[in-house]
Amino acid sequence: MPLHPTEPIEIPAADGHAIRGDLYTPLDGSRSGLVILCHGFKGYRRWGFFPYLAGCLADHGIAALAIDFSFNGDLGGAARPDLFQRNTIRRERSDLEAVLRPVAHERFGSLDGGRLPIGLFGHSRGGVVATLAACENDAIGALCTWSCPAHPDRFTAAQKEKWRSRGEFAFTDARAGTRLSLSTGYLDDLEQNRAAYDLVRRVAKLRVPHLIVHGEADLAVRVDDARALHDAEKDLRDKKLVVLKTGHTFGVADGPAMDSENPPRALAEACYETVKWFNKRFGKGH
């Protein structure tokens, strides 16, 4: 895969913290649209398949902006455990809206003198954030989610009780060996916005073309979640569900950077479907 021009992007969040990103542009400088890539729970913009997917999009004339959320991202929270602890889904939604504002004002270029078509991509919890944005923001022209849960509240009653009694939900990040935790603010956000974060309910009114990609062997988020989301989009004509023989991260493991010349088969298939999806919605391909 050829190297694509990348530009570091920094956008202030609502309280002045930084949302950092990498903008991948097609080699010839043209762009039929822009896709914003949202990582998951402990992900970040340069983890695993994100540079590969961004490069695939750029290969086909689509600019890609891979972002780190302001209180997550970078090294999946390992670089700033104090910020990771204070993160919430509400904050990530606010971060994404902060990114969409300059995009809507053509900071990243225009197409034929008009506004650049905008797409959203999200993996796992990033899919939750991207879907919520697509339900609420008229600027979004296409959506793709991988391994997306039907609801981000996946904690048991026992876990929540212990969480509140200890004041945090602590765990060790296997990638970096760092102790990470979530404050009760994360739990408060989940419980106060239970209906708002119920994607099965929200996508029933979705009007944005939606590609859902999931692994049938996903142990983190069951494939039933993908089917529930697809079935809930009863009035959405432009939708597609792709189920692949793979797991939550499409064959990419934590550790050294993946070999972009020999990607896992499931990842190559997921990227092919994703690029084709956005190309068609941006007026290229069929």
The pLDDT of residue 89 is: 98
The pLDDT of residue 111 is: 45
Q: How is the chain split into domains, by residue range? A: 6-154+196-281
43-82 CB burial, b ≥16 within 10 A, e <16: bbbbbbbbbbbbbbbbbebbbbbbbbbbbbbbbbbbebee
Confidence tier at 3 by pLDDT (50, 70, 90): low
Higher pLDDT, 3 or 26: 26
The pLDDT of residue 178 is: 85
Q: Count other C-beta atoms under 10 Å from residue 167's C-beta.
A: 10
Instruction: Give Dmax over CA atoms of the chain in angstroms.
Output: 57
Higher pLDDT, 285 or 284: 284
- Please state the pTM of the whole predicted model: 0.94
The pLDDT of residue 216 is: 98
Q: List, for residues 123-140, the tens digit of each pLDDT value.
A: 999 999 999 999 999 989
Residue 262 DSSP SS3: coil
- In order of 70, 97, 182, 232, the CA distances from 86 in angstroms are 11, 19, 6, 32
Q: List, for residues 39-74, the tens digit of each pLDDT value.
A: 999 899 999 999 999 999 999 999 999 999 999 987
Whether residue 176 is predicted with pLDDT greater than 80 in this model: the reply is no
d(CA 147, CA 213): 7
Residues 6+ apart with CB under 8 A from 97: 133, 137
Task: Please give the share of the chain, as a percent, with pLDDT higher than 70.
Answer: 92
Whether residue 268 is predicted with pLDDT greater than 50 in this model: the reply is yes
Whether residue 286 is predicted with pLDDT greater than 50 in this model: the reply is no
Residue closest to 124 by CA, chosen among 96, 88, 152: 152
Query: What number is the average pLDDT over the span 188-215?
Result: 98
Residues 6+ apart with CB under 8 A from 177: none
6-154+196-281, CATH topology level: Rossmann fold (3.40.50)
DSSP state of 117: P
Using CB atoms within 10 Å of the CB of residue 195, give its burial: 0 to 12 exposed, 13 to 18 middle, 19+ buried: exposed
Higher pLDDT, 96 or 27: 96
Q: Count other C-beta atoms under 10 Å from residue 161's C-beta.
A: 10
Least confident range of 34-38, 41-45, 192-196, 238-242 = 41-45
The pLDDT of residue 200 is: 98
Residues 6+ apart with CB under 8 A from 256: none
Task: Please give the share of the chain, as a percent, with pLDDT higher than 90.
Answer: 77
